Amino acid sequence: MASDAVHDLNSLVSSEGRDFLIRSNGDQVKISSLIGKNVGLYFSASWCPPCRRFTPVFAGVYEELVPKGEFEVIFISSDRDEDSFKDYFSKMPWLSIPFSDSEIVKRLKELFKVRGIPHLVVLDPSGKVSTDQGVRLVSEHGINSYPFTAEQIQHLKDKEEEARRNQTISSLLVSNSRDYVISNGGNQIPVSELEGKVIGLYFSVYGYALCDEFTPILVDTYKKLKEKGQNFEIVSISLDDANEDFSEALKTVPWLALPFQDEKCRKLTRYFELSTIPTLVIIGQDGKTLISNAAELVEEHGVDAYPFTQEKLEELAEIEKSKLESQTLESILVHGERDFVIGKDGAKVPVSELVGKNILLYFSAHWCPPCRAFLPKLIESYNEIKQKYKEFEVIFISSDRDDNSFQEFFSGMPWLALPFGDERKNFLNRRFKIQGIPAVVAINESGRTVSTEARKLITEYGANAYPFTEERLKQLEEQLEEEAKGWPEKLKHELHDAHELVRTRRRSYICDACDGMGSGWSFYCKECDFDLHPKCALKNEEEADGEGKEGWICEGGVCRKA
């Protein structure tokens, strides 16, 4: 964001005894020679992967701008040693503050509020900040960002809006230097040949687990659509850092791709506001965007998702609704000959023996710290529920990376599991839209899904959350409100005398008095993140009559040391 403050460049980047900047070859350049130019202050470091990716992009823009004589860049390093600085700076065509001048570097970071790198601040010829969003602007618009003024930025926004309104497959895929995509055999295919087709733009990274799982599904769908003669094509938009990975990925797929690290890859990532991978953007026959990410649709419905129109989406939504209404335990856990789960000794337990029970599907992994933290709470709740209700079971669905880790983690659980590497895991992940672990899905005795948020319910209510239905949740809410009747809204406590503690609903916390887990109500100080169980914050029934612990005085709803 531009600022009205005017900075004197000489005082900004010079220090006592130094009125120059350096080039990577050791040459010195007087700071005064930069006066009257647009100057970029480039905060970066060799250890930072986003910096290493951005630097060559920025260098290309710089090389185009510098012949005009109106633009210069000063590297401000966050490297940790001089050798790293020198090696990184040797790849840069611009100037730098010497590595030894750490005080100036520190001052500049504070002055321009640098919270992360890479970061590019551009000063106009008068010393005012044109923008502190230079990295984003260069990444999105390249040389067209120059001179980084508010007027130029608005012009770029207007052009982008116009491009969205007039979007075609050519405007998306053609660049100034290229009007083709490539096949997996290396042939150049004109983008014009894609006009009038339904196009899937597939954003992925080779070797990333979620992409590696989805790509074969997409390949199968693509081949089936081609066999049916559908007017469909896919273009890979690779986000790989290494050419070897890009090449290996292209060998495994039957469709087209943008060339490795093509400028359009970065632009399309930002254009479609990519937030996750894999992402499959569907472009209609008219060149307009139909769906921003159809990966889940393809996983769930395969070829039946084609042609991805609104009418097709509505049809699939009805099918999905029908599936949920007719869901049984067998329909989600039995796949072909896979009609069993396993116990501790590896014994196969037929799914048919679990029919009629309330089931929790527990998605977890040994490598996941939140999973390990949640497990004791789930075991405690499981044991309490089992004592009261025999028709209850938990099934562990592992995301562990090897069988030994699976066995070690499973050995500490008192319930059942899918075998390690079972193909049903991917189906269940898709069916219940598992985005992160640990996750717990509650299935009732009829096989219907009653909650995909059972982890949260167990964290808050423990065994009392059983059977995890909306009705039970409503009862628990009413009980909590009833429980708090008569409690003060605020109180002071001798363990935290800096502020009043406020009666607050809290999903999960650690009591700062007894170190025990808590949920539901807490007497809480938001400013200090301080929690007390109600039982720790409030006097006991006996203390109401003045019969508190020796050395304590209880009055006014508070117990204090005498």
**pLDDT tens, the chain, 562 aa long:** 455 688 999 989 999 889 999 999 989 999 999 999 999 999 999 999 889 989 998 999 999 998 888 999 999 999 999 999 999 999 999 999 999 999 999 999 999 999 889 999 999 999 999 999 899 889 888 888 899 888 888 888 888 788 788 899 999 999 888 999 999 888 999 999 999 999 999 999 999 988 998 999 999 999 999 999 999 999 999 998 889 999 999 999 999 999 998 988 988 988 888 888 999 999 999 999 999 999 989 988 889 999 998 898 888 888 888 877 888 999 999 998 899 999 988 899 999 999 999 999 999 999 999 999 899 999 999 999 999 998 999 999 999 989 999 999 999 999 999 999 998 998 898 888 888 899 999 999 999 999 999 998 998 888 999 999 989 988 888 888 887 888 898 998 888 888 999 999 887 788 888 887 787 889 999 888 999 988 888 864 334 344 444 444 434 333 343 4
Domain 329-475: CATH architecture, name and number where available: 3-Layer(aba) Sandwich (3.40)
Give the 3-state secondary structure of residue 121.
strand
Q: What residues does CATH 3.40.30.10 cover in the chain?
A: 9-158, 169-319, 329-475
Other Cβ atoms closer than 10 A to 283? 24
As a three-state string, the secondary structure of 274-295 is CCCCCEEEEECCCCCEEECCCH
Residue 187's pLDDT is 93
User: Tokens 């899904």 belong to which residue?
Assistant: 449
Measure the CA angle with vertex 117, ends 116 and 118; round to 5°: 145
Which structure tokens are listed for 128? 């005012």
DSSP code string of 316-328: HHHHHHHHHHT--
Question: Which residue type sits at 310?
Answer: Q
What is the spatial distance between Cα 75 and Cα 99, in angstroms, rounded to a whole number? 10
Q: Which amino acid is at 337?
A: E
The CA-atom distances, in angstroms, between 537 and each of 143, 156, 505, 514, 533 are 62, 58, 15, 11, 6
DSSP 259: P
Fold annotation for 9-158: Glutaredoxin (3.40.30)
The per-residue pLDDT for 9 is: 92
Contact 138, 119 (CB under 8 A): no
pLDDT of residue 3: 57
> What pLDDT shows up at residue 244?
92
Whole-angstrom distance, CA of residue 448 vs CA of residue 327: 6
pTM: 0.55
Lookup result for tokens 């730098």: 96
Q: Alpha carbon of 26 to those of 23, 59, 416: distances in Å?
A: 5, 19, 67
What counts of helices (H) and strands (E) characterise the chain? 19, 27
Sheet hosting strand 188-190, strand order edge to edge: 188-190, 180-182, 256-257, 232-238, 198-204, 279-283, 289-291
Distance CA 216, CA 232 (A): 17
Identify the architecture of domain 169-319 in CATH.
3-Layer(aba) Sandwich (3.40)
Antiparallel, parallel or unpaired: β 198-204 and 496-510: unpaired
